Amino acid sequence: MIAAGIGFGSSTSAEAICAAIEACAAEARTRPHLLALPAFKEGRAEAAREAAARLDLPLRFVAAADLARVQQETQSRSERARNAVGFAAVAEAAALGALAPGARLLLPKRIHAGVTVAFALGRLAEPSREVPR
């Protein structure tokens, strides 16, 4: 199972998210099986919901406990992100946190037009929060 963790700003469009996922899929030479987004973005996730629908992927919201569980497994950390949302890694942590312990990064954080994307590979974890397609 490949999870694509994403991070983006409030003005980001579904088109930008789709383009970023597609660019990362081309680089990794594989397509994700789900999109993973930190649960703290759930109230501001319309663009992610639309992108998930366009890409025909389920959207999983990753709980803070799961983001915290994988922070030490990430390769990229940002003090700006830590100050803004309480986590130094967001996209990588979302990808890893959507999967069961033992998952690994397949594609570390990439930034495309303001959208941050990371791919992780592993077994699917029990969902913290999952939104149907």
Domains of the chain: 2-125 (3.30.420.180)
pLDDT digits (tens, 9 = 90+) for 21-76: 999 999 999 999 999 999 888 878 899 999 999 999 999 999 988 988 988 888 88
For residues 13 and 129, the answer to whether their CB atoms sit within 8 Å is no
First to last CA, the chain: 17
48 vs 3: CA distance, rounded Å:
14
117 vs 35: CA distance, rounded Å:
10
**Which residue has tokens 């930034």?**
111
pTM greater than 0.85 (yes/no)? yes
Q: Which residue, 92, 40, 34, 88, is CA-closest to 63?
A: 40
